[in-house]
Amino acid sequence: MARRQSSENPDRSLESIVDAEDLRSVMTAALAVQPVDEASLRRGVWTYVGGEREAGVSPGHVILRLTRLIEEANLTPYEHRLTVTRRVILWCVEAYFGHLGGDVVGREASALSDTGAVRVR
């Protein structure tokens, strides 16, 4: 699969830029509720990452943008923020490079838990 060379600001269509902004809003809303709406957050991450990948954004830049989004949410306590960040990065890697396991659409409640293990089917 040939992919365009990634850069921090790849050439993008207006639709792609608007979609990314909408998805960041969805993820921000999921992070704002207590407890964090993990199902919405995970779906938002997967959709956002897929769009960024298609736009040619490098995985490193996608991870940086997602971690910045989490930092801006000011989740407390700090340990909770780290747990959410770890989950989001795992989902990002799964979405960017391929599905590693779990249930992305949330049919299986345990798939959203942070068990420390990645199930490979």
The verdict on residue 32 lying in a domain is yes
**Confidence grade of residue 14 (pLDDT, cut at 50, 70, 90):** confident
Q: Percentage of the chain surpassing pLDDT 90?
A: 63
The verdict on residue 48 lying in a domain is yes
CA distance 56 to 33: 31
CA distance 24 to 45: 9
**Confidence grade of residue 2 (pLDDT, cut at 50, 70, 90):** very low
The verdict on residue 95 lying in a domain is yes
- Looking at per-residue pLDDT, the higher value among 16 and 69 belongs to 69
Q: Do residues 88 and 66 lie in contact, with contact meaning Cβ atoms separated by under 8 Å?
A: yes
The verdict on residue 2 lying in a domain is no
Other CB atoms within 10 A of residue 65 CB? 17
The verdict on residue 4 lying in a domain is no
The verdict on residue 29 lying in a domain is yes
Containing structural domain, residue 41: 15-99
The verdict on residue 111 lying in a domain is no
Q: Do residues 31 and 75 lie in contact, with contact meaning Cβ atoms separated by under 8 Å?
A: yes
* Number of domains comprising the chain: 1
3-class SS letters over the chain:
CCCCCCCCCCCCCHHHHHHHHHHHHHHHHHHHCCCCCHHHHHHHHHHHHHHHHHCCCCHHHHHHHHHHHHHHCCCCCHHHHHHHHHHHHHHHHHHHHCCCCCCCCCCCHHHHCCCCCCCCC
The verdict on residue 119 lying in a domain is no
